[in-house]
Amino acid sequence: PHNSFTLQVLCRYRHIWNIELRFRPAFLGGIMQQTGNKPPAMLPKRGEYMLKDMKRMAKYYQVPVHMSPDDFQRIMGTSSLTAMRFITAMDMTNPQYLEPLSREFWMRFWSQHEDISQPENILAVARQAGLSAELSQKALEMMSSPAVKDRLKETTAEALKHGAFGMPAVVAHYDGKPHLFFGSDRLELLGSVIGE
């Protein structure tokens, strides 16, 4: 859910901060596995805190994220790989749809609790994001291709190279070097680094 807050805030501040915002789909499961990270909710006390924190953040950022203890089990059991491959296919063909598509996927998953690994739900997300049936079908067919799989592996490897160990990971290319920020609670530090 913190991805959702980060995505919303960066979109809101893009013109205020005068930044070029580029979405890079990466596979969270691969990042967690490669770095030995574990989902926060696996530690009960941290899971309890996360629920309270998300409610506060949802209110503060005015993002309609709803979570209950039962939702953690659903989240742990749902892979984001299919959705990330669909977004990757779109990145390779029609990157202008990445932002509305990313927003809609998060809304469906976190607010409406839909299984975003199912093709019919992916097509519904794409339709809501403004994609034509033809574009959606093309991206759906591309998802299992080696080109899409390799591209997602590359962007995931790139995130790891920059030091990512989970999501949201934001890399700010500023003053000739990359700066990694993890978590939506680091947005003010990101602003500070880029002189905003």
Tell me: the pLDDT tens digits for 46-70? 888 888 888 888 888 888 777 777 7
Check residue 111 and report its DSSP letter.
I
pLDDT category at 7 given cuts 50, 70, 90 is: confident
Q: Is the pLDDT of residue 106 over 90?
A: no
Tell me what pLDDT residue 192 has. 94
Q: Is the pLDDT of residue 2 over 70?
A: no
The residue whose two tokens read 């509305």 is 100
In the three-class reduction of DSSP (H, G, I as helix; E, B as strand; rest coil), residue 57 is classed as: helix
Beta bridge partners of 170: 181
Tell me what pLDDT residue 76 has. 66
What are the pLDDT digits (tens) for 80-102?
899 999 999 999 999 999 999 98
Tell me what pLDDT residue 72 has. 65
Residue boundaries of the structural domains of the chain: 1-194
- CA-to-CA distance for 55 and 45, rounded, in angstroms? 16
Q: Is the pLDDT of residue 144 over 60?
A: yes
- Of 3-7, 127-131, 192-196, where does mean pLDDT reach its minimum? 3-7
Fold of 1-194: Glutaredoxin (3.40.30)
Tell me what pLDDT residue 169 has. 93
- CA-to-CA distance for 148 and 150, rounded, in angstroms? 5
Is there a contact between 131 and 97 (Cβ–Cβ < 8 Å)?
yes
Q: How many residues does the chain have?
A: 196
Q: What is the arithmetic mean of pLDDT over 165-174?
A: 93
Name the residue with higher pLDDT: 76 or 128.
128
Q: What is the arithmetic mean of pLDDT over 123-128?
A: 94
Type of residue numbered 190:
L
pLDDT category at 73 given cuts 50, 70, 90 is: low
Output the average pLDDT for the chain. 88
Q: Which of 41, 37, 36 is nearest to 1 (CA)?
A: 41
Q: Is the pLDDT of residue 184 over 90?
A: no
The residue whose two tokens read 């995505």 is 7
